[in-house]
């Protein structure tokens, strides 16, 4: 347990530095700790997670760290979506390293493309897919992402949205997430992290 934690610290610091060097906005470590904790707590349903707007994997590995400690009896799956083809290639490389560290408990799927298109394709299959979703795409797309995730998250699942403070999502998003089936909270990290639990019914 401690060995994995130490190795994860080194790996996460490297990927964060790489993100900065490439000019990719990355979540703050405080956000990562929250995502990791959420992934640990909610991972008892489908064992599947999605990171929409994964960049080169900094947010993804935080989700994976929490999932690793939850998924002791099953292999959990994390779908990492990145629109930029070059970044998706680096993302794949980084996640192969993480997959090896987590010894087969976590399986990654990298999707190079648009997150909303991916959600739409899953919706057509008509079933709940994910225990948790992290969304860090264009802020104007947050309302549609929330609408899609209502059909894709399990009851009790968590949707996390980055940049609740700055740059802010449109007012429509906050109006939508304040209504059933969502129960939201904005956590005061530097950029703001909104968590919304999908309630039953």
Amino acid 45: pLDDT: 76
37, 71 Cβ separation under 8 angstroms: no
Residue 106, SS3?
strand
What φ, ψ does residue 142 adopt, rounded to 5°?
-60, -40
pTM score of the predicted model: 0.96
The DSSP call for residue 170 is P
Say how many CA atoms lie within 13 Å of 82 toward its Cβ.
22
Q: Residue holding tokens 């997150």?
A: 115
User: How much of the chain exceeds pLDDT 70, in percent?
Assistant: 99
State the CATH number of the domain containing residue 108.
3.40.50.150
Q: What is the pLDDT of residue 126?
A: 80
Q: Is the pLDDT of residue 77 over 90?
A: yes
Query: Tokens 């987590």 label which residue?
Result: 102
Average pLDDT score, the chain: 95
Give the residue among 17, 35, 77, 79 at the shortest CA–CA distance from 53: 79
Residue 156's CB: how many other CB atoms inside 10 A?
Answer: 14
Supply the range of the domain harboring residue 194: 2-198
Token pair recorded at residue 132: 């948790």
The pLDDT, as a whole number, for residue 128 is 75
Cα separation of the two ends of the chain: 38
Digit-coded pLDDT (tens) for 127-138: 779 999 999 999
Task: Tally the domains of the chain.
Answer: 1
Residue 31 clears pLDDT 90, i.e. is over it: yes
Amino acid 144: pLDDT: 98
Average pLDDT over residues 54-80: 95
Q: What does the pLDDT average to over 86-105?
A: 94
**What pLDDT is recorded for position 201?**
65
* Structure-block tokens of residue 33: 């700790």
């Amino acid at each position: 347990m401690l060995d994995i934690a130490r190795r994860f610290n080194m790996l996460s610091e490297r990927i964060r530095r790489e993100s900065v060097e490439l000019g990719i906005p990355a979540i703050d470590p405080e956000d990562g700790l929250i995502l990791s904790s959420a992934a640990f707590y909610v991972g008892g349903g489908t064992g599947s997670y999605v990171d929409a707007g994964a960049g080169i994997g900094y947010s993804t590995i935080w989700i994976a760290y929490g999932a690793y400690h939850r998924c002791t009896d099953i292999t959990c799956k994390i779908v990492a979506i990145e629109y930029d083809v070059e970044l998706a290639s680096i993302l794949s490389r980084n996640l192969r390293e993480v997959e090896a560290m987590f010894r087969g408990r976590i399986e990654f799927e990298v999707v190079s493309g648009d997150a909303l298109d991916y959600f739409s394709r899953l919706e057509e299959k008509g079933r709940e897919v994910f225990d948790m979703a992290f969304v860090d795409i264009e802020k104007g797309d947050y309302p549609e992402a929330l609408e899609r995730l209502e059909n894709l998250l399990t009851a009790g699942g968590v949707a996390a949205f980055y940049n609740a403070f700055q740059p802010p999502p449109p007012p429509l998003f906050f109006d939508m997430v304040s209504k059933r089936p969502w129960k939201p909270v904005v956590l005061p990290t530097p950029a703001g992290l909104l968590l919304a639990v999908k309630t039953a019914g």
